[in-house]
Amino acid sequence: MQQCRLMLSTLRGSEEKHQRQHASSETLLREREDLENENEKEGDTEDDETLSDSWRYNRRNLALQIVLGAWMIISVCCVFYIIFKLISEVDKRQHVFPPSDTSIDTDSNTPKFTDMKLQLIIPSYAPHFNQLLEMLHSMACLITDINTIDIALIVSSTNEVLTLNSLLAASNAEICGSTFLSYNVTPHSYQLVYPRKMTVYNLYGMLPPEIQKETDPRETGNLVGRYGKYKYQSMKKLAAAAYLDYDYAMLLDSEGLVIRPVAFMEMINAWKQNPVIWKELAQPGSPRRHEWIAHINEACAWTLGRNMENFGMGVSYWEGYTWILEKEIVMDMVNSPSRLDPVTGFFSRLLAAQYDIFEIAMYKMHIAARKMEQSSNNSTLYTKYQVLDMEEALYDYGLGKAYKRIPSNDPVIAQEFPYMILEEPQQDLLVAFMKEYKVFFLYFHPRYVGLIAPWVMQSFMQKAPLAMTVSGATGMRDKVIPDGNGSWNMTYV
């Protein structure tokens, strides 16, 4: 019995001990789980705090980088702006401007004549330099395609080359600005003082070798004393015309003025569609006959190896002031041997002529002669030209009354052309004549400004296709042009 009790007691003790051990294990497990949970919570909290600190750090770095980048961009822009302003100021003072896209035209509807090479040939000498500068300034401001045109300024000596270049570089000349002669200036001309594409030439370098032998490289003025100013001026223009590279060239005296916006390429293109050579008949005994002009025509004919019987006695080719040359015709003229003196060169014959020479009259005479002598095999180089009598054309157009306004004893109709403006009832007809025959250039003597009533002159200026006065612009700039612009639109065709 005692053994039974002992065994039962032992079993109970073992069971209680086992229960206590199991309870202790469960308690220990719960405590461990609680501790792990607490550790996980603490780890999560620490991770959250670490991520938050890292995000704030990265955000500060990003903001700092953005600020630094913006500051660098602003700094670079400021540096470029300062450099650009400095260059602009230097260029403006020296009148040297950066190259621009010369194909840009202010009117998108204006045709581009990129295949045509145009050259302006302007002879001058020191007493006319101030007038030349005024004309060049008007070209820079009002010729809308001036950046596509080469300009050759022909002077007589190395001293004149230096003097003219110095005047062109003077720092006190004004830019075109936004307006000139009351017209708006195109954006590409706004900062111009003079045209960009200009070269000053000493005549000596353009002369053929046989003429160079007669003069000095530093000064060709001795030829004036030997041969006279008209032969010298003609040689100056034609030597340049033979020397330079172009398709079409315009001869201009240095006393002219561009009086309204004009596209020279468009003007030349319109002219060459139907070019006209003007002549006038002044028989001996005619009140319009002037012996000096008759002698000039005789001298031109002789230089070409011809005589006036080939053209008709009393015919003069002086008429007209639109002096446009074709390079191919110029070279044909200067390279063709004379029938009267086949061993002597063109320029030597020019200087040896008995009377004065007027180069444009000789050029027109050459075209007229080629048209007469070449019948079956004549090329379009000459056949495209018309040779018209100025007086007959005016009468045929119905401008007889206007023509009679010209003094009867004046030998050159074109020189006194503005007299026809006085016949106010025929003004529209006169303007139509000028448009049809491409009369873009007139000679305005200062006396015309006082001769023609202001409202009549202004009405004419508004309607006529007049681009330039070739000489004698005194008084027009202040008294005529400001009130005579507005309706003319640069369209020739």
Percent of residues, the chain, with pLDDT higher than 70: 76
Per-residue pLDDT at 32: 56
Q: Where are the domains of the chain?
A: 118-412
Predicted model pTM? 0.76
d(CA 463, CA 461): 6
* Residue 434: both structure tokens together: 């000028």
- How wide is the angle at C-alpha 414 spanned by C-alphas 289 and 327, nearest 5°? 105
pLDDT digits (tens, 9 = 90+) for 51-68: 566 667 677 777 777 877
What type of residue sits at position 159? Answer: N
Quick check: helix, strand or coil at residue 13? helix
Return the DSSP state at 259: -
Average pLDDT over residues 120-149: 94
Per-residue pLDDT at 491: 46
d(CA 78, CA 97): 22
Residue 4 pLDDT greater than 60, yes or no = no
Residue 130 pLDDT greater than 70, yes or no = yes
Per-residue pLDDT at 220: 97
Beta strand 276-281 pairing with 386-389: parallel
Which among 145-149, 307-311, 450-454 has the top mean pLDDT? 145-149
- Ranking 98-102, 278-282, 469-473, 475-479 by mean pLDDT, the lowest is 98-102
d(CA 302, CA 305): 5
- Ranking 41-45, 54-58, 305-309, 479-483 by mean pLDDT, the lowest is 41-45
What are the φ and ψ backbone dihedral angles of 62, each rounded to 5 degrees? -60, -45
d(CA 106, CA 113): 14
pLDDT digits (tens, 9 = 90+) for 239-266: 999 999 999 999 999 989 998 899 999 9
Nearest alpha carbon to residue 129 among 117, 118, 119, 137: 137
Q: Are 443 and 322 in contact (CB under 8 A)?
A: no
At residue 482 the predicted structure's pLDDT band, cuts being 50, 70 and 90, is low
* Residue 105: both structure tokens together: 């035209």
Residue 38 pLDDT greater than 60, yes or no = no
* Residue 351: both structure tokens together: 């200087």
Per-residue pLDDT at 161: 98
At residue 81 the predicted structure's pLDDT band, cuts being 50, 70 and 90, is low
Residue 189 pLDDT greater than 60, yes or no = yes
Give whole-number Cα distances, 23 to 16, 27, 28, 234, in Å.
Answer: 10, 6, 9, 134
> Given the structure tokens 């020189």, which residue do they identify?
415
- Ranking 156-170, 274-288, 359-373, 423-437 by mean pLDDT, the lowest is 274-288
Average pLDDT over residues 95-102: 32
Per-residue pLDDT at 145: 93
d(CA 476, CA 484): 10
Per-residue pLDDT at 64: 77
d(CA 318, CA 413): 9
The residue that leads in pLDDT, 241 or 109, is 241
At residue 100 the predicted structure's pLDDT band, cuts being 50, 70 and 90, is very low
d(CA 320, CA 390): 9
For 404, other C-beta atoms within 10 Å of its C-beta total 13
d(CA 158, CA 244): 19
- How wide is the angle at C-alpha 142 spanned by C-alphas 140 and 143, nearest 5°? 75
For the chain, the helix, strand and coil percentages under 3-state DSSP, each to the nearest 5:
55, 10, 35
* Residue 70: both structure tokens together: 């913006």
Residue 376 pLDDT greater than 60, yes or no = no
Per-residue pLDDT at 268: 94
At residue 98 the predicted structure's pLDDT band, cuts being 50, 70 and 90, is very low
Nearest alpha carbon to residue 419 among 432, 433, 404, 431: 404
Q: Where are the beta strands (DSSP E) in 125-262?
A: 150-155, 179-180, 183-184, 198-202, 248-251, 257-258
Quick check: helix, strand or coil at residue 191? coil
Beta strand 257-258 pairing with 468-469: antiparallel
Residues 329, 332, 334, 340: is their CA dihedral positive or negative? Answer: negative
Give whole-number Cα distances, 230 to 77, 227, 236, 350, in Å.
Answer: 59, 8, 10, 11
- Contacts for 124-129: CB closer than 8 Å, 24+ residues apart: 124/153, 124/154, 124/155, 124/164, 124/254, 125/155, 125/156, 125/160, 126/155, 126/160, 126/163, 128/254, 128/255, 129/163, 129/164, 129/167, 129/254
Residue 155 pLDDT greater than 50, yes or no = yes
For 348, other C-beta atoms within 10 Å of its C-beta total 15
Per-residue pLDDT at 375: 55
Nearest alpha carbon to residue 493 among 262, 249, 266: 266
d(CA 417, CA 393): 13
At residue 319 the predicted structure's pLDDT band, cuts being 50, 70 and 90, is confident
Per-residue pLDDT at 55: 65
Per-residue pLDDT at 27: 52
pLDDT digits (tens, 9 = 90+) for 201-242: 999 999 999 999 999 999 999 999 999 999 999 999 999 999
DSSP codes, 108-156: TTSPP-TT--EEEEEE--GGGHHHHHHHHHHHHHHBTTGGG-EEEEEES
Average pLDDT over residues 72-100: 54
